[in-house]
Amino acid sequence: MIALSLAEIAEAVSGTLNTHGADTPETVVSGVVDTDSRAMEPGAIFVAKPGEVTDGHLFVGRAVEAGAVLAIVERIVDEPVTQIVVPDVVLAIADLAREVVARVRARGALKIVGVTGSNGKTTTKNMLATILGPEGETVAPKGSYNNAVGAPLTMLRLTDHTRFLVCELGADAPGQIGRLAALVTPDVGVVLMVGLAHAGGFGGIEVTVREKSELIRAVRPGGVAVLNADDHRVAGMAAIADERGLSVRWFGEADSADVRSGALEVTAQGTRTTLTVDGVEIPLHLKVLGGHHVKNAMAAVTAAAALGIDPEVAVRRLESMQLAERWRMQVLTESPIRIINDAYNASPDAVAAALRTLAQITGPDERMVAVLGAMSELGEQAVEEHQKIGLLAVRLRIPRIVVVGSEARALYLAAIAEGSWNDEAVFFEDADAAFEYLTGELRPGDSVLVKSSNAAGLRFLGDRLGESFS
């Protein structure tokens, strides 16, 4: 974090300062800010966030032992450290992030990109970080730091020398994207697509559309909206951009898109295509597995161009990427069995894309195995969407469909009904049972996809399989 006095921090978060030892209101701190006591280092600021399982206030002492010099708390803790007491620590770190971003932006060099969408946010922000990093100090989220806590913590990593901030903006509840985007007022807002992810929690797809569009409403005057020309719900956000006087740049397969792709050649070594950027053709070999990531690459190139990065330079930098993120189409082993762990997020669109990738990269002498778990937060559409995935898996002629967890049982039943029999589709209540089955069933030449939502926990099953067959 940039250097701020204790008094400035207390004012930013509307908190009460309680100094300790030699500290005074003028004492300056500039260390990392985190809610995890294990992430502390000398000079750090610990945020004591209450949680569902435990309470950060219990770890203030541990944070101090690791080097924390300030704790932001909701109640005074009997530990030898300066504390700022606030009513709500989550709101406090948002307020502090707003102040830090405003101060760094006022110095003139900082440019901010906000990225949202039902799928592809994490991959796209990593692609943008890869493109922008060589241009100057770039701050982007760790993993999927995109919620009410993670996004502000990312913003608080800014320094006086940061040139680019890439914000991944997700939503645990309606209104969150607007609140997070308002902390930074991005120069460029990227909306990837609108799908069924979170639709159950939000109350329907139209509420999701409104939520994603809040990013465009938050883009600063004179900024740029980067929109998916192939998604009619995203394309409709151009009206909001026009109302606000923003420029609109399009990516997609439509002929009208500013950045579009040609035919895709998808293999286990990546995807080859040609991007056309404002009429100029640029070959692209994307090593990140899955043809669906080309759309994310187009979004990243479009956003980078809005920041003045030459598209050919952007493409060359993207070609250096080997992995989107851990647990996202992550190839754990190639031989004798290929294990692909993609079990961190799973909307219906993402699962369908992953299954199609499995079919595309599996050779004629190899066998496809899909290990599938539940897709979360689909509400009343959960059964229907799981059934659709079961049908798709059978229609893609996947000979081994391994379904794990009761919440995904509709997927298994749909596969059976569609014509998957003779143990082609099997069901297990838990990952341990599935692991025992798979270790005896898998054979050399198999291509195995492990796919589920984060809550289903199959990413750990994928890791176990990777360790077993490495």
Find tokens 């943008």 and name the residue.
128
Q: Would you say 439 is a known binding-site residue?
A: no
Residue 251's nearest CA partner among 215, 294, 219, 290 is: 294
Token pair recorded at residue 337: 């069995």
Residue 9's nearest CA partner among 107, 86, 63, 112 is: 86
Measured distance CA(247)–CA(357) in Å, rounded: 34
Measured distance CA(321)–CA(40) in Å, rounded: 30
Q: Would you say 405 is a known binding-site residue?
A: no
Q: Would you say 295 is a known binding-site residue?
A: no
Inter-residue long-range contacts of 438-441, CB under 8 Å, 24+ positions, other chains counted:
438/369, 438/371, 438/402, 438/465, 439/465, 439/468, 441/369, 441/400
Cα dihedral sign, 148-150-151-155: positive
Q: Would you say 118 is a known binding-site residue?
A: yes
Token pair recorded at residue 144: 């999927």
Instruction: For 231-289, give the DSSP string.
Output: -HHHHTTHHHHHHTT-EEEEESSSTT-SEEE---EEETTEEEEEEEETTEEEEEEE-SS
Q: Would you say 302 is a known binding-site residue?
A: no
Q: Would you say 373 is a known binding-site residue?
A: no
Strand 111-116, strand 188-191: pairing: parallel
In three-state form (DSSP H/G/I as H, E/B as E, the rest C), the secondary structure along 35-81 is CCHHHCCCCCEEECCECCCCEHHHHHHHHHHCCCCEEEECCCCCCCC
Binding residues: 117-123
Binding residues for ATP: 117-123
